[in-house]
């Protein structure tokens, strides 16, 4: 039987715990999600699963689904779970599920927890899935069902920005497509000037340079090289596209048992179900010459001209170019749970959450920050490195020429990372703390807010009309003490003469997209004309036309001020005219009196 849970996609190690409440202690659960491949295809049907939570070396069992596991042994009873296109989910510790026992009260007091899984498809018997997966409980994955009391701080929602990108944007590789906002993203990969996202439906989104081949579906794993890209499908085949100048995108024929892929600058790696490795592409530095006898591989990584393999015994094997010592694995390196390759440096995460790096260190990319701990994953770029911590935060070090070390505020609650040449990607958890307005305290949101629309250009945007209890504009800060360079408004009449006030109707296409807008005549201005008079008060609305061009919006508030100033100017002019009239009237009366005397 052939089975595999793709590296990095199991975790739905989105692990959450129920909260204890004032009413009584609520059972703690772990939300585990995974993907099961059987005989080269995504398993469909009811599978028999067994679970155990063990220590790092599997020598001690802290819990199992039926309570029978000892010293990491296989439990006796199984849990029946529905598997849809290879995907399954279960609440571990949910005693309401047949074959599942509750967690012991002291389970989360253990220093480390590793999930061990067995699977039976009903044909080939029960087999253990390797390697064990390290679990990290995180506050952003809390589940709120069946809780007597829910705290607002623990309410979660899908993130509006599931993928955060930053750093070099020379080809748009750090500008995430808007299509990802509503997508289920399960993995990311970064090339030199391109970015990839694997969606839950098995399709791939690419931005920056290049595009994935048409009809690419059923993908379970992705990798990005400098300018070529790889995808492993649920049937064990591999698809490659992009630069093929060294045959790095020419997949060897007959491969139907692939479970993971890795891509270097000009070479590619495939990990097979039997834990062996295939390499192809440029071999100038022997980066595709697999070391003899390399077996029991559970993870692979590729740098510019070197390759890495993590073995079942938690050791690392490296081969290829070594001009910077990137394949000189530290002799004491052991207990490794994850690997990554930068351009000319290498990284490893150990079972204790520490990081080891070696190789090229021109910008400090191989100098691990002192005290770095609690790490679950690493990634390497051209001359910088990243680490994902179990609390969902990121640590970066090395070159910052393109601001690739400046982690954005949005990159939190992260479950996956990727590093390109000079840009970085962060995959956020499917559920993150929701921004909730509270009536008992001031509210301050960290992103733009929209009512009836996505707020893109402004902190607050409304689709349609907005009103308040009294007439007039929204209040603005007008205290003289916070203002400088104060000048009176002058030439208001001439300025207003430049403004073209119009009546208009909205187009049928616009009304169709905004059904709440009435089809009638409106009073306003034309944005393109208004920009010639008040350019700083015209900006993009965030909406686009069918041709992709942006829709302009206008702040007509200047008309209010200039109209008031124009009234003042007219008032002054009238006062002058009144004075002139009074003077002329006096002269006329004097002339009339003189004539009367004659």
* Digit-coded pLDDT (tens) for 150-209: 666 667 788 888 999 999 999 999 999 989 987 889 899 999 999 999 998 899 999 999
Q: What is the pLDDT of residues 214-246, one digit of tens each?
A: 999 999 899 999 999 999 998 899 999 999 999
User: 258 Cβ partners below 8 Å, 6+ apart?
Assistant: 232, 233, 236, 237, 238, 270, 271, 272, 273
pLDDT bucket at 141, cuts 50 / 70 / 90: very low
pLDDT of residue 106: 81
Q: What is the pLDDT of residues 285-299, one digit of tens each?
A: 999 999 999 999 999
Integer Cα distance of 494 and 430 in angstroms: 56
**Rounded mean pLDDT of the chain?**
86
Q: Which runs of E-coded beta strand occur in 481-594?
A: 501-504, 522-525, 538-544, 550-554
Written as six digits, the tokens of 362 are 């021109």
What's the 3-state SS for 359-427? ECCCCCCCCCCCCCCCEEEEEECCCEEEEEECCCCEEEEECCCCCCCCCCCCCCCEEEEEECCCEEEEE
pLDDT of residue 166: 98
Written as six digits, the tokens of 61 are 């069992």
pLDDT bucket at 535, cuts 50 / 70 / 90: very high
Report which of residues 259 and 143 the model is more confident about: 259
Q: What percent of the chain has pLDDT over 70?
A: 89
pLDDT of residue 469: 65
Report which of residues 251 and 587 the model is more confident about: 251
Tell me: pLDDT of 14 over 70.
Answer: no
pLDDT of residue 13: 30
pLDDT of residue 449: 81
Tell me: pLDDT of 377 over 50.
Answer: yes
Tell me: pLDDT of 454 over 90.
Answer: no
- What is the pLDDT averaged over residues 346-366? 96
């Amino acid at each position: 039987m052939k089975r595999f849970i793709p590296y990095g996609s199991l975790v739905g190690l989105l692990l959450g715990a129920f909260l204890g409440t004032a009413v009584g202690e609520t059972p703690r659960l772990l939300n585990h999600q995974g993907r099961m491949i059987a005989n080269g295809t995504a398993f469909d049907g009811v599978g028999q699963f067994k679970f155990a939570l063990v220590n790092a070396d599997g020598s001690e069992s802290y819990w199992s689904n039926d309570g029978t596991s000892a010293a990491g042994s296989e439990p006796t009873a199984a849990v029946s779970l529905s598997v849809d296109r290879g995907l399954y989910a279960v609440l571990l510790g949910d005693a309401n599920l047949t074959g599942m026992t509750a967690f012991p009260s002291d389970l989360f007091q253990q220093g480390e927890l590793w999930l061990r899984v067995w699977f039976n498809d009903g044909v080939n018997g029960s087999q253990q899935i390797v390697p064990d997966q390290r679990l990290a409980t995180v506050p952003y994955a809390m589940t709120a069902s069946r809780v007597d009391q829910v705290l607002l701080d623990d309410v979660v929602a899908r993130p509006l920005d599931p993928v955060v990108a930053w750093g070099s944007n020379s080809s748009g590789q750090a500008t995430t497509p808007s299509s990802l906002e509503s997508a289920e993203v399960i993995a990311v990969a970064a090339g030199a000037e391109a970015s990839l996202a694997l969606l839950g439906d098995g399709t791939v989104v690419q931005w920056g340079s290049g595009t994935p081949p048409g009809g690419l579906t059923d993908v379970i794993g992705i990798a990005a090289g400098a300018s070529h890209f790889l995808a492993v499908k649920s049937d064990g085949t591999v698809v490659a596209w992009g630069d093929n100048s060294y045959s790095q995108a020419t997949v060897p024929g007959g491969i139907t048992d692939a479970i993971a892929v890795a891509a270097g600058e000009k070479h590619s790696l495939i990990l097979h179900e039997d834990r062996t490795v295939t390499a192809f592409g440029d071999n100038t530095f022997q980066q595709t010459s697999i070391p003899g006898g390399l077996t029991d591989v559970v993870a692979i990584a590729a740098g510019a001209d070197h390759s890495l393999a993590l073995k079942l015994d938690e050791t690392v094997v490296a081969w290829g170019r070594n001009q910077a010592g990137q394949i000189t694995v530290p002799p004491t390196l052991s207990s490794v749970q994850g690997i990554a390759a930068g351009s000319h440096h290498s990284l490893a995460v150990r079972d204790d959450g520490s990081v080891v790096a070696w190789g090229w260190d021109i910008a400090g990319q191989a100098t691990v920050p002192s005290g770095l701990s609690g790490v679950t994953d690493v990634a390497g770029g051209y001359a910088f490195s990243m680490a994902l911590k179990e609390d969902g935060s990121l640590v970066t070090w090395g070159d910052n020429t393109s601001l690739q070390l400046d982690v954005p505020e949005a990159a939190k609650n992260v479950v996956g990372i990727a590093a390109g040449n000079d840009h970085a990607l962060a995959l956020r958890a499917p559920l993150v703390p929701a921004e909730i307005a509270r009536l008992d305290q001031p509210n301050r949101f960290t992103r733009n807010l929209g009512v009836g629309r996505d707020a893109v250009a402004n902190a607050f945007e409304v689709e349609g009309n907005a009103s308040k209890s009294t007439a007039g504009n929204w209040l603005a800060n007008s205290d003289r003490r916070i203002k400088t360079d104060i000048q009176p408004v002058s030439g208001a009449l001439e300025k207003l003469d430049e403004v073209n006030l119009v009546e208009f109707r909205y187009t049928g296409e616009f009304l169709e997209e905004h059904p709440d807008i009435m089809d009638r005549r409106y009073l306003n201005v034309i944005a393109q004309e208004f920009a010639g008079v008040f350019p700083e008060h015209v900006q993009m609305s965030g909406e686009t036309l069918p041709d992709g061009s942006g829709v302009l919006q206008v702040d007509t508030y200047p008309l209010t001020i200039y109209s008031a100033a124009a009234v003042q100017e007219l008032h002054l002019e009238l006062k002058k005219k009144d004075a002139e009239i009074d003077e002329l009237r006096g002269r006329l009366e004097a002339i009339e009196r003189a004539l009367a005397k004659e």
